[in-house]
Chain A
Amino acid sequence: MHEFNEPLITAWQLVAGADARLAGIVLLSLRVSLAATLIACVIGMPIGALLAVGRFPGRRTLIVLFNGLMGLPPVVVGLLVYLLLSRAGPLGQFGLLFSPEAMIIAQAILVTPIVAALTRQVVADSWSEYREQLRSLGASRGRAAATLLWDGRFSLSTAALAGFGRAIAEVGAVMIVGGNIDGVTRVMTTTIALETSKGDLPLALALGFILITVVLAINAVAYALRGWAERHWG
């Protein structure tokens, strides 16, 4: 019992004392995953909307593809981005490997299909409701896609938060392209993995607490936002 309690107490002291090392890791995690989610939204939401309202050859194939890519294994994304960014790779000249930027790229690739697929679902639902009215008013398909993205902004924030939840919790991609360098590319998940394997449980546990709290908070925010939007805009 003593064996189990002691790391817990130390972990709590780390969190409560706002330990500088801990804070650095948490902030880097948030920065990387927020940036990745932002990029994924900028790319994934228009793709999702066009998949929902567009009419072009290969649309169905793309829908199946994006739905499938939602389950992309992070380590495979990490490996691909590693190959792209490594010195001999096509983007090697930029020297991004083992930097936070590399981690942002990897997580953005991981999250974009999630955002695109969830966006497509939301937009497709309202497209079936709005289609005739928008066409009657003379909206082109592109304009309709933009309108539906705006109209679905609250539901879509849930898609963004789902993407962020996936990014902040994944370990495989950032481990490979970030290299888990102390003070540079060490984020919550990679630190947990490393410290646990070294037997340093307090730091791992403290980060585990924070990670779970962040994920729960994201869901609470998503839930509250939807409820507010439903009451406020119908």
Chain B
Amino acid sequence: MNTWLSIDGLSLTEGGTRIIADVSLTLGAQRTVVLGPNGAGKSTLLRLIHDLLHPSTGVLYWPRPLSQAMVFQRPVMLRTTALTNVIYGLKLKGFKTGEARRRAQESLARVGLEHLALRPARLLSGGEQQRVALARAWALEPELLILDEPTASLDPASSREVERIIGDIAASGARILMTTHNLGQARRIAEDIVFIDRGRIVEQTPVAQFFKLPQTPAAQSFLQEEMP
């Protein structure tokens, strides 16, 4: 297992409360899913790794800096077409107009949305918007794709489609780091599970073992509550 990120003593304190408390973690699996109860600090941890938040203490050590993209729970679409939304991300990365358009079209085709490329993005369904967000991220060919509960507000059919796309992105070589409320999805996607509670890492376990025999009482009771 090739370590791509070592986190050492990471903390984030916001208004007197410690949201992330002394997290040390080594990430090496290609696909890692972070699980934990509501408010555990999953989203915050992903934002710290994606450099959207700055830690109060601690360091992130990247053996080799990885290009990253992130997909959020609620897709953020600009008031323009789906295609232009994807092109926008590519342009920010320095692609020229023609090349950006070509890549954007390819990316939309990979998420099965080429037929909606010229539709106003904000008028697409929630599931379609999330697929545009995935296309926008995938077009950048990130070495690390971070996803924060990408299917939390989607119906089951859309969730399956998004999950299929995440699998394809992983198959294309990107590392996946995500959170989800859907334990079936975690089981299908993850190699490694990181379980966190109240801002602390409770355990990091290979997926099969985590679902068969979690190492800690906190994870055991979490699984019991989520899968009665």
Question: Residues of A with Cβ closer than 8 Å to B?
Answer: 129-130, 132-133, 135-139, 143, 147, 150-154, 229, 232-234
B residues within 8 A CB of A130?
A: 76, 78
Which secondary structure characterizes the binding site on chain B? mixed
Complex contact A137–B72 (CB within 8 A)? no
20 extra interface residue pairs, beta carbon distance < 8 Å, beyond A137-B92, A150-B78: A129-B76, A130-B76, A132-B47, A132-B52, A132-B72, A133-B76, A135-B52, A136-B52, A136-B68, A137-B89, A137-B136, A138-B93, A139-B92, A143-B92, A229-B79, A233-B120, A234-B77, A234-B79, A234-B122, A234-B123
A residues within 8 A CB of B123?
A: 233-234
Complex contact A136–B50 (CB within 8 A)? yes
Which residue of A is nearest B94, CB measured? Answer: A138
A residues within 8 A CB of B121?
A: 234
A residues within 8 A CB of B122?
A: 233-234
Alpha-carbon distance A139/B88, docked complex (angstroms): 10
A residues within 8 A CB of B70?
A: 132, 136
Which secondary structure characterizes the binding site on chain A? helix
Number of interface residues of B (CB under 8 A): 21
Query: Any chain A CB within 8 A of the CB of B33?
Result: no
Alpha-carbon distance A152/B88, docked complex (angstroms): 16
A residues within 8 A CB of B76?
A: 129-130, 132-133
Complex contact A147–B93 (CB within 8 A)? no
CB contacts under 8 Å to A, within B72-108, are 72, 76-80, 88-89, 92-93
A residues within 8 A CB of B52?
A: 132, 135-136
Complex contact B120–A136 (CB within 8 A)? no
Binary contact track B114-151/A, C-beta < 8 Å → 1, others 0 = 00000011110000000000001000000000000000
Binary contact track B42-76/A, C-beta < 8 Å → 1, others 0 = 00000100101000000000000000111010001
